[in-house]
Each structure stands twice: as structure tokens, then as C-alpha cells.
Amino acid sequence: MHRYVQVFENLPVLVIGEAILDRYSVGTARRTCTESAAPIVDVCEEQAAPGGAANTACNLAALGARVCFLTAVGEDAAAGQLRQLLGEAGVQAHLLAVAGRETLVKHRLVADGQILARFDRGSTAALPSEPVQHLLALLEAEWGRCRAVVVSDYRYGILGDPVIAALAGLQQRTSRTLVVDARDLTRYRKVGVSAVKPNYEEALGLLDNVQTAASRLETVTACRGQLLERTGASSVIVSLDREGVVLLERKGPARHIESTSQPGPNGPPYAHTTGAGDTFVAALALALAAGEKAEAAARLAQKAAGVVVARSGTARCSAADLEAELAWSQKQPKASPVTGWSAAQNILCVRLDAMGDVLMSTPALRALRRPDRRLTLLTSSAGGQIARLIPEVDEVIVYDAPWLKATAPRATSRPEYEMAAYLRQRQFDAAAIFTVFSQNPLPSAMLCYLAGIPLRLAHCHENPYQLLTNWILDPEPAQGIRHEVRRQLDLVATIGAYSPDERLSVRAGEKAHRQVQQLLAELGIGDGRPWLVIHPGATAPSRRYAPEGFAAVAERLVAEEGYTVLFTGNREEAGLIEQIRSKMVVPSFSLAGRLDLEELVALIAMAPLLVANNTGPVHIAAATGTPVVDLYALTNPQHTPWEVPHRVLSHDVPCKFCFKSLCPEGHNHCLQLVTPEQVLTAVRELSQYEHRRYFDPHLLPSRCSGGDAHQPDRSEFQRL
């Protein structure tokens, strides 16, 4: 048993604050109601869990502590349910029933892993005098029995001035480890607090005239003195979400503690996870009460919170969970110090795949981006076309690697030696190698090693020894599959690179924008009728919805919904589009072969909605903020639309996630059994979303060359 788990067992802790009952109605949304364009959720499960300070108390109990919890509730069914749940969690709960008060309830409606709505109800007014006196008497009685006190103050009326004054008096008389998690930490400035845990926004709210720096980490670090003074705490630990936390103390420098927890069964983070901050506070209080220094306590708390982030709903971390997390951490390879990366100014980013993979790497590229840095992207011919439209990239080098499936066979290895020599000539400071989990990064690592690039980063399933200076033991697929965007963000986070903006990015220039506007005007688009784009092509046969299905969808969109439909594709897909249109009796437009890639980006950015297979244009839509219906063959789970309104349509089959370009069963049921009616429903649901346009149609950012990507001589490097 780990020493932390032993020390935490039966350690007495007092928790005071607002109790919330978290309820969840969980189901699926496949239909819209006739009264309005709102989804109908078929609820299949009802869940309930203690929330707020009650969740902190449950986390403490789960970690082995002996917990006493003080709060006030109503005289209602929700209070009874809270009492039962707290009792089942092993918490000694003093829930003072106050006449006329309603217990706080937060009810979330969850469909397909996403929170559609949250309904809050309950009393938030200050407590009357009599319950306050009762609460103070309990507080004084329990203070002498505990070693640590946790205050969880949501400003919902429990912790008024009399209670805070009592806390200050008790702490002065008999000092305890006191951890406060409050919306307004200035109220506790003179209480004698050991540690406070604001998030980034709450920390900024404590300050006057904040000058934000290039990163959230730098902003918080620069405000160290003010934060310590405004809170009065010995330690201030500011949460930066996925970037970890920053520890500020009165002596010593600020310390950044990264998030390095193992992924959950489906890859972190869940869309409707709540309560990770409560878990952090619980583990922090226990570690401080056990005698740990603030930095060690914060690192442990970050591990415990990481367990919860990988789960859904209001989750908690048990002693066994923490022990497993600590054991996992000890097995991870120790990466080289990141000081070299902080000094790197000329970075090579390697992404040798196709367009969609390149786009899904853009948040990681943005995390690496700094004003004093130059990013060069080494990518394939297919990736190079979109790469020159990515604002984070300064230069593109096109290289079709022989270890990629799409590269045509060649008789000599000379291009590899020539490329290594060319990269050596460029004198890169570092290389970040982005791969899907099924790709081996070592050929790319060898290329960078031969090029003399001193720092080399990648995920890897085996020890790369000298080929990588910074390698992350790849947890996929054994421990679940992350979204491809999250995978690459997690990679660069290990060398201290973060971005608060995790959207995909792509930009088209003013000329492309004007040309597409002119084309739409010629087609009569923009006269007030709804319109959308359908992109029916895909590289892999297993990812193509049937032409008959697309024809049925398009015909009903025109005939029943009044849409104008534009089909897009390259010249090779013109035959597919004509096959679809030949099965329709209503008009539509084909733009097959009429747009270059930059114009396609501009068109999708202007379009109200895109319907497509799981292919590159889906990720263009995500990068431009265009809602998308994604007809998603269940070949792999990690390429769904990212941070954009979307509907992913597939049919559940036993053989899902086969990772094959051709269906091994020969039927493609995971895609072909999606009905046109399901597609129409998804279009109706997404039509209610306002188009969040990320696309700036007027300027291609100056960081981009705006011209052709660098393409070595054809005699030297094989081109597709």
C-alpha cells in the first residue's frame, strides 16, 4: 500500500459549505419535436450524486478520511436523498433542516455524452439567525476533533459573516490545516488559511488592472504577490484546467505542476465530468494535514483530480484509484528536462498524414507557437495542400515518406538521405512528431536524428533510446482511444506547451472568398432560401455513404425543407456526384472539380451547414465553425468533429472500430444502415445553431507565406 493511502486512513477532516444534489437524466437524441427545433431526448437512465461541498466530503471519505460534514438544507425530498447518499459514502453528515428553505439541486440533461441543458433550483439566501447559531455550535464542537478543515463556499448562503468570523477565531485559538475553495476568497483573507484553490478566471477576478501575458501561466506567475496578498493564504494554487496548476508561495518561485494522469477507458476528458476541483481540494487537504509540503501536496492532488477527469458525471477518487494512479506514474519514462524546449526557436513539426490529420494537429501547433518561434511543417503531398492555409505554420516542406501507406513504391532510398541532409542544413532546434496511435514514430525520429535535430518529441510504444529525447509511453489503444486533437495536445503539454484556444484552424484568402461569393451569386445562392453543402466523397471505401442514400437525403432536403443543395468534390469524384444527382428528380448543383482547396475552405466557411462522410472537409467545417452532419463509419473512434455543433451518425455493430479501409465483413453496416430520415433529423437539429464563424475571409495572416509550399526538386524527392 502506498504511504499516502496509509496516512490518509481515518484522518479526521471537517467540511463546511453548501451541499448540492447533482441529478442527471441520461439518454440519446435522435428526433426533434414538432413544436420547435429542439431535440427529443429518450432518457434511459437517471443518476444522482452529492455535489458541491458534499462531493468534497465524499471524496475525502473515498480517500480514507473520517469526515464530518456541516451544512443546511431544506425540509424536502432532495435533502432526504442527500442524507442517504452521504451515508452510503461513509460521511457523518449534519444536515440542518431549515423551514422554508429549498435544497439546492442542479439537474443536467445529457444526450449522447453532451450536456444539453442544466436546471438549477434551491434557496441561496443567507440563513436565518437560529440555524446560524446551531451551525456555529456544531462547528466549535467538531473543530477540536479534526486535523484539517475544508471550506467550500459557493456563496449560496451557508457561509455568512458570522461563520467566517467563527472560523477565524477557532483557527487563531487552535490552528488546523485549513483549505478554502470559494468564489470570493477575499472574505477569508484574515482567517489564517493554509491554501486556496481559485481557477484562472477567479484568480483574475481578485486583481486590479491585470496585464495578461503570452500565456495563462505567465499571467498568474506575474501576479504572485497580489494573489497572496489578496487571499492572505500561505499557498495559492491556481487551476489552469488541462494545463495543470500553478503553485504560488510566499517564499520561492512559482511552480507549474502539469496534468499527467493516465487516460480513462474512452480517453479524457468526458464532456459532462463535474467535481474534479472538489477532488483536488480533498486530496490537497489530506496531504497538507499529513505533513506534506505544498508542492508535494499539490502534485498528489493533481493526480487525484486526473482520475476524476477521465470519468463521467459527478465522480470521485478512491484510495485504490489514487494508489493505481501513483503506481502508473512511477512506471512512466522520465522525460528529459524541458528547458531546452523553452529555448527552442526553430521547430520542425512532423505530420506525414493527410488533410484531416494535419488539421487535427493545429491546436497542438498553436500551443507550440510563440512570437519568437518559427514553425515549419513537414507533411505529405496531401497534407501540404491544406498546410499552407494554417496560420500557425510559417513554412511547409512536402515529403512523402515510404513508411506511410499512401506513398507510391519507389526503387531507391536516396530521397530519405537527401531529406535528412536538407533538414540538417535548416538547423532546427527541435522536432515534434505527431502520429496516430497505430503509426510507429521511429522512422520519423530516425530522420530527425540523422538531421542532427537536438530535441525530438513523440508518443512511442517502445523505448526509443537515442532516437527520441522526449518520449511519452503511448497509452493507446490498451487504455482507451483519445480524440486525435487531444492526443496531440497531451503530447506537447509534456514539454510545457499549452493553448487556451483548442479549436482547429484554417484560413482562406480574400481572393478565394471573392471568387466563391461570385460563384454563389451566379447560382442564385443567398436569396433567402436555406442552402447547404454535401460532400459525398471519401478516400477509403469503408467511409463512403451509399450514393442512393445521399440522393434520398438531398431530394428530401430540396422537396420538403426548401434547401438548395451544393455537391462538392474533386475531379475524380465528379462521376460519383453525377450518379447521385441522376437518382434525384429535383434540381441541385455540382461543384465537382470547380474549386481548389482554398476555395473549398471559403465555401465551407460561408455555408450554413455541411453534410459529409468522415473525411477532410468535416475538419475544415470544424476549423471554420460550420455545423456538420458527419456520416461516420465506425472504423475508428478518434476523428469526430471537434468543438463545433455537429451530429455524428452511425449504426452500432459488433465489429465497430476495426481500423480498416475496407470493411472486413463486406457489408459496411455501421454506415450504410444509417437512414436518410436520421440525416434529415440531424440537419433540422443543427439548423437552429447560429453559425460561429471563425473564418476571416479578408486576410491570410502574415505569418503564412501565402505562396506555394516548399517542394524539393522532383528528381530528389518522390512526389505522388
Each residue of 347-366: pLDDT tens digit?
999 999 889 999 999 999 99
109 domain residue, yes or no: yes
Selection from 298-312, 316-330, 440-454 with the highest mean pLDDT: 440-454
Q: What is the pLDDT of residue 405?
A: 78
Same domain, 305 and 370: no
Same domain, 397 and 516: no
711 domain residue, yes or no: no
697 domain residue, yes or no: no
CA distance 451 to 445: 10
Q: What is the pLDDT of residue 500?
A: 82
The DSSP line for 499-546 is -S---------HHHHHHHHHHHHHTTTTSSS-EEEEE---SSGGG---
Same domain, 374 and 322: no
696 domain residue, yes or no: no
Q: What is the pLDDT of residue 170?
A: 97
Q: Is it the case that residue 82 has pLDDT exceeding 70?
A: yes
In this prediction, residues 324-344 reach a mean pLDDT of 70
Whole-number Cα distances in Å, 687 to 551, 600, 610: 20, 21, 11
**Final residue belonging to a domain, choices 331, 364, 390:** 331
Same domain, 488 and 521: no
Torsion of CA 636, 640, 646, 648, to 10 degrees: 0
Q: For residue 463, give the C-alpha cell.
A: 523505448
What is the percentage of the chain residues whose pLDDT exceeds 70?
87
Q: What is the pLDDT of residue 626?
A: 93
714 domain residue, yes or no: no
Of 687 and 65, the structure prediction assigns the larger pLDDT to: 65
Q: How many domains does the chain have?
A: 3
69 domain residue, yes or no: yes
- 278 carries an active-site annotation: yes
CA distance 66 to 64: 7
Average pLDDT along the chain: 86
**Final residue belonging to a domain, choices 331, 354, 377:** 331
Q: Is it the case that residue 495 has pLDDT exceeding 90?
A: no
Of 232 and 334, the structure prediction assigns the larger pLDDT to: 232
Annotated catalytic residue within 22, 181, 278, 474: 278
Q: What is the pLDDT of residue 50?
A: 94
In this prediction, residues 416-427 reach a mean pLDDT of 93
Q: What is the pLDDT of residue 689?
A: 65
Q: What is the pLDDT of residue 20?
A: 96
Q: What is the pLDDT of residues 654-681, one digit of tens each?
A: 655 555 556 666 656 767 788 889 889 8
CA distance 175 to 151: 15
In this prediction, residues 260-267 reach a mean pLDDT of 49
Same domain, 387 and 243: no
692 domain residue, yes or no: no
Supply the range of the domain harboring residue 657.
Answer: 510-686
Q: Is it the case that residue 717 has pLDDT exceeding 80?
A: no
Secondary structure class of 436 (helix, strand, coil): coil
CA distance 442 to 450: 12
Q: What is the pLDDT of residues 465-485, one digit of tens each?
A: 899 999 888 888 777 778 899
Residue 246 bridge partners (DSSP): 238, 256
Same domain, 295 and 207: yes
Same domain, 120 and 98: yes
Same domain, 75 and 131: yes
Give the CATH number for residue 463.
3.40.50.2000
Pairing of strands 39-52, 589-590: unpaired
Q: Is it the case that residue 401 has pLDDT exceeding 50?
A: yes
> Cis omega (within 30 of 0) on the bond before 500?
no
Q: What are phi and psi of 42, to 5 degrees?
A: -85, 100
pLDDT class of 22 with cuts at 50, 70, 90: very high
3-state per-residue secondary structure call for 248-293: EECCCCCEEECCCCCCCCCCCCCCCEECHHHHHHHHHHHHHHCCCC
Q: What is the pLDDT of residue 306?
A: 82
Sheet order of strands, 92-97 included: 92-97, 66-73, 12-17, 148-153, 177-182, 195-196, 235-239, 245-249, 255-257
Whole-prediction pTM: 0.63
pLDDT class of 691 with cuts at 50, 70, 90: low
Q: What is the pLDDT of residue 275?
A: 55
Same domain, 19 and 125: yes
**Final residue belonging to a domain, choices 331, 357, 385:** 331
Same domain, 15 and 145: yes
Q: Is it the case that residue 434 has pLDDT exceeding 80?
A: yes
Q: What is the pLDDT of residue 115?
A: 82
Q: Is it the case that residue 690 has pLDDT exceeding 70?
A: no
Q: What is the pLDDT of residue 33?
A: 75
Q: Is it the case that residue 3 has pLDDT exceeding 70?
A: no
Q: What is the pLDDT of residues 522-572, one digit of tens each?
A: 998 877 789 999 999 887 777 788 899 999 999 999 999 899 999 999 999
Q: What is the pLDDT of residue 624?
A: 94
Same domain, 155 and 281: yes
35 domain residue, yes or no: no
Q: What is the pLDDT of residue 132?
A: 96
Q: Residue type at 687?
A: S
Pairing of strands 104-111, 114-121: antiparallel
What is the end-to-end Cα distance of the chain in Å, rounded?
57
Same domain, 308 and 166: yes
